[in-house]
Every structure is written in structure tokens, then in C-alpha cells.
Amino acid sequence: MDLPELTGAAPVAAPVAAPVDDLDDVADDDLDDGDHDVDGEGRPPMVAALSPSSISVWNQCPKRFFFEKILRLETEPGLEALCGSFVHEVLEHLMGLPSAERTLDSARRLATERWAGFSADPTSRFVELGLDEGEVRGFKRRAWAGIEGYFAIEDPSRVEVVATEQAVTADLDGAPLFGIVDRLDRFGEDLVVSDYKTGKAPRWPDEVDEKLGQLRLYAAILDAQGTPVRTLRLLFVSPQLAASGKAERCEEAVRAAMEALGAAAPGCSRKRLGTAVDLVEDAHRSARQGAGPDDDARELARIAAAGAAWAAATDLVGDAAPAGDAIQTVAEMVLDVVAARRKAWFARRDALEARPREITLAVQPEHIEAARAEVGTVWAEATACYERWEFPARTGVLCDWCPFAARCDDYAGWVEAGRPADDAPSCAPDPAPLSQPAPAA
């Protein structure tokens, strides 16, 4: 089936640099948690309520919560997030139709009808992306892949929809919580929360649990309202796009690592550099495959790769001086290439396997209890930090993608200190060398 060309030209603004989003963690349930007046001490107010997305931000970094939810500093729009918003909009209107009319043709018509308004609406922030004509077509193709992907998961004509984009709120033991449920369905006598996701689908149990965390919060709100739900559903409508994007970024990382290696070993041909990397990969693979049942295969592979990298670097550097420093630098860069190629291999595999899919969870009493406890803990910690007007940063690798990194003193200090491991600062209320190289995998 040909991808539809949505009608309506999108206005083009001056180009802006969009931040790198994690594709599927941009929530669309944030509300204006409070007004923008200042309190008696001349500072903006505490949020009036938490939301699933603000809890996610808090768990990532209290300092980011401060910038984003308290100071309400604007960030540049992300293409993936805005594309997800358009997909949500079209599917919301699709599921508002009589069941017999929820067809792919209807979705195509709705996408065309909604496009002009979405692309021109200042509140959608699409204009701020500054896309040229070709990039706009790419945006439309990405959005249509998500809309079409939904039909690969279920037949919308068979869904009994109770509500779409339903605002829900509750006070959970003194902690206010607000959210917007994508869709509330009825299956027999049971209520089901269905949530659309346009980012990558999780592969590991801890990732699945994290993704389901937002829906467990919705379940806690609805339970407090006297409308308990039986099942939570995550509908990943276009994970292949996120997976392909990650694969492309990983391939670019391989190219960058190879260029850096070439610069550190001038005079070596690309073929010679590639052969050196291949030898290290072979050593890593052989050590891992040859490990016994009582061996630490990962550690053996790391040691073998480090030794092979040193030997390869010695050959590449030759008579360069000072030889020791040069060999160490090149060996580390060879290991960087090995690690980048390994990540790229897995990313390519994931991209080939990615398909629209559904993840479900049968709601249990312990899920509701855990959600209530999390909301209470975050509300107490955030309130305590607000009262002290101190929001500590949780520094780590994710800081590099934070839109507020440039204005965060903690991030600058962390970088200057050599990017040490995070100490996980508490926000609880008062009182409360080459011989050991980085592993190739």
C-alpha cells in the first residue's frame, strides 16, 4: 500500500536544532500543573499535581524536574515527540467514529483533514521544527507508519471504546495525581486502559516494567475514583521506526570511532585498521565461546580483547614516539570501535525484528499499592526540595541529552570532574590504566 500524501503545505520557519529525544518517553499527559504567578518569596509555585510524565522526570533527575516543571523553561520541540502527538490525534478521532467506520480509509481521510490544522497550530510547535519540503514528507511518512501500524495490532471496529483522551485525577493519600488516558475500553465486564506508543518497544523485563509504570499510575487514579481497571495495554504502533533510527545512529558511531582511530594511527590504511579491529573481535568471541561453565565468560572476553587490542595497537603504531602513550591511546580506540560495532550489530538485528506489538498487564492489588507508594514518595521528596529550594542533580550519561544541560551547574561540574559515577543524591524530607581497559561489550 502506498503511503498517503497528506494535503496541506506546512509553513516553514527558520531552522532550529531539535534535541535528541528517547523516542518513546515523551508523555502527552502533562497539564499546566499550576499558574505562573510567584509566591510570597518571589518564586514560582510548586506544581499543583504530579502526572505520570512529571514523576518520570523526577525519577530521572530532580534538577530537570525543577527546570521543566517548576521554572517551566521551554525546550525546542523534538520531531519524534511531535510525530507521536499527530498519531495520537488521528487515532483519537478514529476511535471516536462508529465502530463500522474505523477503517484504514477513514484513518487516511482523518490524517489528511487533521494535517492542515496540526501543522499550522502554534500550540503543536510543528512550525518550530523548520522542516523543508522533503523533511515534511518524511514526517508524514513516519506518522502514517504509526497510524497504519495500529491496524496491525488490532481491529478497531471490534473495540468497545468508553472514552478517549480522558482526563483523570485523584488524591492518593494526600498526593495529588493527574493524567490523560489515551483510551479506556470495555472488554466484557472489564475496563481496560490502552496507551499508544510511537517509540521503541522494550526488549528486557526491566524495560517493560518501566514502560508499564505510567499505566499503573492511571490504574491507581481510576481505582481511587471507584472505576477499577482489569488490564493495562501498551500499543507500540511503530517500533520499527525507532529501531531503524537507533541503528542509523549506531552506524554513525562506528564511522566516528573509525575516523578517530585513523587520526590516532596516521599512515595506516582503512583496510589495515579494519583488520586490527577484526582480530580483537575474534579474540573477544573466542574467549567467550571457550569459557567453561564455572568461568566468568564476560571477564575472560574482556581480558582477551584488551590483550588483542594492545597487540594490534603495537603493530599499528610501529616506531611512533612516545610509543607507550601512543599504543595505549590506539588500543583504547580499537576497543571503542569494537564496542561500537557490537552495538551496531544488535541495533541492526533489532531493526529487522521490530514490528507493531502489544504488551499487556493484568492489574493486581500490589500494582495499585506500589503506584500509590511511588506517588506519595515523589510528592514528599519534591515538596521537601521545593521548601528548601534545593533540587539536586542526578548526574549520569543521560545528562548529555538533557535540554537543560547548558544551564545546569551540576552538569558542568560533573563533566569537569571527569564524569564520575552518580552518587544518587537524596531528596528525602529532613531528616533523612590499559591493564584494566573498558570491556569491549
Q: What is the pLDDT of residues 376-409, one digit of tens each?
A: 999 999 999 999 999 999 998 889 889 999 999 9
**Domain extent at residue 292:** 243-351
Residue 285 domain flag: yes
pLDDT of residue 323: 58
Cα gap 196→88, rounded to integer Å = 7
Residue 212 domain flag: no
Residue 70 has what DSSP assignment? Answer: I
pLDDT of residue 319: 55
Average pLDDT over every residue of 154-172:
96
pLDDT of residue 433: 35
Residue 361 domain flag: no
> 98 falls in which pLDDT band (50, 70, 90)?
very high
Closest by CA position to 156, among listed 218, 233, 80, 98: 98
Cα gap 277→287, rounded to integer Å = 16
For CA atoms 199, 29, 113, 194, the dihedral sign is: positive
When mean pLDDT is compared across 19-28, 193-202, 297-306, 398-407, the lowest value belongs to: 19-28
| Coil, helix or strand at residue 181 | strand
pLDDT of residue 42: 82
State pLDDT tens for residues 54-64: 999 999 999 99
Cα gap 366→176, rounded to integer Å = 20
pLDDT of residue 422: 54
The β-bridge relationship of strands 175-187 and 160-172 is antiparallel
The three cell numbers locating residue 19: 534535541
pLDDT at position 427 over 60: no
Residue 45 domain flag: no
The three cell numbers locating residue 150: 495500529
CA distances from 426 to 59, 70, 252, 430 (A): 11, 19, 37, 10
> 40 falls in which pLDDT band (50, 70, 90)?
low
- Under 8 Å between Cβ of 292 and 313: no
Residue 50 has what DSSP assignment? Answer: B
Residue 391 has what DSSP assignment? Answer: -
Average pLDDT over every residue of 242-249:
89
Closest by CA position to 393, among listed 377, 414, 417: 414
When mean pLDDT is compared across 144-148, 209-213, 223-227, the lowest value belongs to: 209-213
Residue 185 domain flag: no
pLDDT of residue 51: 96
What phi, psi does 390 have (nearest 5°)?
A: -135, 115
When mean pLDDT is compared across 7-11, 58-62, 155-159, 337-341, the lowest value belongs to: 7-11
pLDDT at position 34 over 50: no
pLDDT of residue 226: 94
> 440 falls in which pLDDT band (50, 70, 90)?
very low
Residue 211 domain flag: no
Residue 307 domain flag: yes
Cα gap 116→111, rounded to integer Å = 9
Task: State the chain's mean pLDDT as an integer.
Answer: 85
Residue 326 domain flag: yes
Chain length of the chain: 441
The three cell numbers locating residue 377: 514518595
State pLDDT tens for residues 111-153: 999 999 999 999 889 998 999 999 999 999 999 999 999 999 9
pLDDT of residue 24: 36
Closest by CA position to 209, among listed 237, 232, 238, 186: 232
pLDDT of residue 39: 56
Number of structural domains found in the chain: 1
The three cell numbers locating residue 264: 590516532
State pLDDT tens for residues 251-292: 999 999 999 999 999 889 999 999 999 999 999 999 999 999
> 210 falls in which pLDDT band (50, 70, 90)?
confident
pLDDT at position 302 over 80: yes
pTM of whole model > 0.85? no
Average pLDDT over every residue of 315-342:
84
State pLDDT tens for residues 2-29: 333 333 333 323 222 233 333 333 333 4
Distance from CA of residue 318 to its chain's centroid?
44
Torsion of CA 163, 216, 154, 103, to 10 degrees: 30
Helix (H) or strand (E) holding 84: helix 79-95
- Under 8 Å between Cβ of 87 and 146: yes
Q: What is the CA radius of gyration of the chain?
A: 25
When mean pLDDT is compared across 13-22, 49-58, 206-215, the lowest value belongs to: 13-22
Average pLDDT over every residue of 357-377:
96
pLDDT of residue 324: 64
Closest by CA position to 403, among listed 70, 69, 64, 130: 64
